[in-house]
Amino acid sequence: MGLILGFTFGLGLALIVIGPQDPPASARSRTEPFAGLGRLARDAGVHISGLAVVALCVALFAIAFIVIAGVSRSVPVASILAVFVSYAPIAVLRSRVKKRQAEMRVLWPEIVDNLASAIRAGLSLPEALQQIGERGPPAMREPFEAFARDYQATGRFNECLDALKTRLADPVGDRIIEALRIAREVGGGDLGRMLRSLSNFLRDDLRTRGELESRQSWTVSGARIAVAAPWIVIALMSLQPEVIATFSSPTGVFILVAGAVACAVAYRLMMLLGELPGERRILQ
């Protein structure tokens, strides 16, 4: 117990040092360690570095290994189960990304309608974006309020759009912001028509994706239950001495490793076949 408390205290100090921080610039994010995990965290709305995510995974592995090994007295079983536990932060971040994108996907048509109405009323594009922070959906006001503060302080529209895109961290938002950037640079009187067409497209996409997700959800849930069930059974059986002796043998270790690999491959295949592909941020 003293070892676990000491390790947890040290982990807390490490996470304070490398933990929450402001979102880095895109150029910096390419060179930071574990940049992919850092982008995943930012897309989930959690502003921590990729190194902090890795540190959390390693810490969970160590804690889970110590606890399970202390209870079961089986190093192979503790190692395999600790690997699954250490993946929890990444799984949580990916789940938050999907949930966040689904929530924002519902709000974007309303935001585009507000922009179109503001443009039709004679407001400039920066003013139309600023009024989203006052009259837009409550869940989306904060990024646009920050855009208004940035634009009032600097007057640099493109830089403020880049900052807004970073705060939103959403693929649909990326496309809308780049369309607005092009519309401002090129000019013309078709911006309102373009926004109305975009709003209709977003609503059609939302309706279609909702129907497909409702039909495919049972496949995703079945894949998760099928992968988790055998390892829950092994965790419960590892409290029995004869089971511990069996899995501590070379044959038992081979069965555990082969089972873990088979579950990982099967889960990946089921998710590829049964889950709708998520939208990627290609305009970051």
Task: Give rounded-to-5 percent helix, strand, coil for the chain.
Answer: 85, 0, 15
Give the model's pLDDT for residue 29. Answer: 46
Give the model's pLDDT for residue 58. Answer: 92
Last residue of a domain, one of 63, 86, 109: 86
Give the model's pLDDT for residue 21. Answer: 46
Last residue of a domain, one of 54, 86, 118: 86
Residue 113 lies in a domain: yes
Q: Within 10 Å of residue 111's Cβ, how many Cβ atoms?
A: 22
Range(s) of the domain holding residue 71: 1-86
Residue 201 lies in a domain: no
Name the 3-class secondary structure at 164. helix
Last residue of a domain, one of 86, 118, 136: 86
State the Cα torsion 45-146-121-191 to the nearest 10°: -60
Q: Of 76, 89, 16, whose CA–CA distance to 243 is shortest?
A: 76
Residue 271 lies in a domain: no
Total domain count for the chain? 2
Contact 27, 162 (CB under 8 A): no
Question: CA 176 to CA 147: how far, in whole Å?
Answer: 15
Task: Sort 63 into a burial class: Cβ within 10 Å, 0-12 / 13-18 / 19+.
Answer: middle
Residue 262 lies in a domain: no
Residue 117 lies in a domain: yes
Question: CA 265 to CA 270: how far, in whole Å?
Answer: 9
pLDDT along the chain (284 residues), means of 10: 57 54 45 75 80 90 88 81 88 85 85 86 85 85 90 88 86 84 72 80 83 73 80 79 77 85 83 68 62
